Structure 1
Amino acid sequence: MSRGMNQYVKYALVLLLSVSLILFTQELKLLKNPESTPIDGMTIAGLLSLYLFSLVGVTISELLKKWDVRFVKNFPILGWVSVTSLIMCLTFDFFVTAIQSVDFLSITTPILTFAGISVVDRLVDLRKTSWKIAIVAVFVFVGTYIGSALLAQFGLMVTGQ
């Protein structure tokens, strides 16, 4: 198997693991709270749709990295997955209905797990940064929190609640 094909197999397996973790998390949530989002055929279709969109986005990203156009070459994988998802969901209502059957919190758990793993993997690089980055991070977190709270409050005031 060639190196490029081996990389696609690795991406496909990681995405399959992600979808499996989403299904596992939704099943655990269902056991804890039987009134939550049930697992049915549409849930499986939604997970397969997410898998397909991710795989297509990764493939597009890898193929376009060979172009000499800097913007296209440096566009992140998440962007291609988002564009693929957006186009498919705007084109076919089935994808929207299927993805609605997947519990949102079940999706966020594996994503946060992978994010944590990727941060731990770069802990050595994080140690090399200055202590001043911690101060910047605190201000970013506080600013984001206050900004979100102000936007939410504005939304509540506009709707009269």
Structure 2
Amino acid sequence: MLKSIQEWVFVLVIIGAVILIGNWVGYDVMPVDAIPGIAVLALICLTGLIIHKLLPFNIPSIAYIGILGFVLTIPGMPGQEKIVEWTAQVNLLAIATPILAYAGIAIGRSWSDFRKLGWKTIVVGMCVLLGTFIGSAIIAEIVLRFQGII
């Protein structure tokens, strides 16, 4: 388990650094301001992964991470105000970008597994991407027209 924890810490540090840079470049949040929030998020993730490894239940680790984050930010919980203050300095898109990039790299390393899924997976993926793009464009059009911007 120690090897797994070392790997998780390594990945979380890399992703944290990329989030820090993305948050700074894309959202003008100084790295010094965002470091506490990124550290808290990384610790919550690491704790959730450890809990997943220790408990015998067949529940995904993301459930433990989400529950832990939820419990730690319940109003009245000790330290809740600081956790919310720190994590408010980290933009969601700055978090999503490196995580999705990491997922893409992980899929890219296992092309043989991806190939086993067949050509239908590519068609479904393209339809999902196209649907998401068109849906986002329609929602943006409606909201911008409603606000009188366009």
Quickly name the TM-score band, shorter chain normalised. Answer: 0.7 to 0.9
Aligned residues: 143
Tell me, yes or no, if structure 1 residue 125 matches structure 2 residue 113. yes
SS in 2 for 1:49: helix
Higher relative contact order (CA 8 A, sep 6+): 1
CA contact (8 A) 2:34 2:87 kept: yes
Q: Distance in 2 between matches of 1:149 and 1:82?
A: 30
TM-score, normalised by the number of residues in structure 1: 0.73
CA contact (8 A) 2:21 2:31 kept: no
RMSD value, Cα: 2.6
The one-character-per-residue Cα deviations of 1:51-107 (angstroms, maximum 9, x if unpaired) are 11111111111112x24xxxxx1x222222122112212241221111111243432
1:22-33 correspondence runs (5 A): 22-27=19-24, 29=25
User: Which residue of the partner structure matches residue 53 of structure 2?
Assistant: 62
1:4-23 correspondence runs (5 A): 4-23=1-20
User: Which residue of the partner structure matches residue 69 of structure 2?
Assistant: 85
TM-score, normalised by the number of residues in structure 2: 0.77
Instruction: From the superposition, tell whether residues 124 and 63 of structure 1 become closer, same or farther in structure 2 (CA, over 3 Å).
Output: same
CA contact (8 A) 2:8 2:46 kept: yes
- Tell me, which stretches of 5 or more residues in structure 1 are unaligned? 68-72
Tell me, yes or no, if structure 1 residue 36 matches structure 2 residue 33. no
Q: Distance in 2 between matches of 1:149 and 1:79?
A: 31
Instruction: From the superposition, tell whether residues 122 and 25 of structure 1 become closer, same or farther in structure 2 (CA, over 3 Å).
Output: same
CA contact (8 A) 2:48 2:61 kept: yes
Q: Distance in 2 between matches of 1:103 and 1:62?
A: 29
Offset of residue 38 of structure 1: 2.2
Determine what percentage of the aligned residue pairs are the same residue: 28
- Tell me, which stretches of 5 or more residues in structure 2 are unaligned? none
Q: Distance in 2 between matches of 1:61 and 1:151?
A: 38
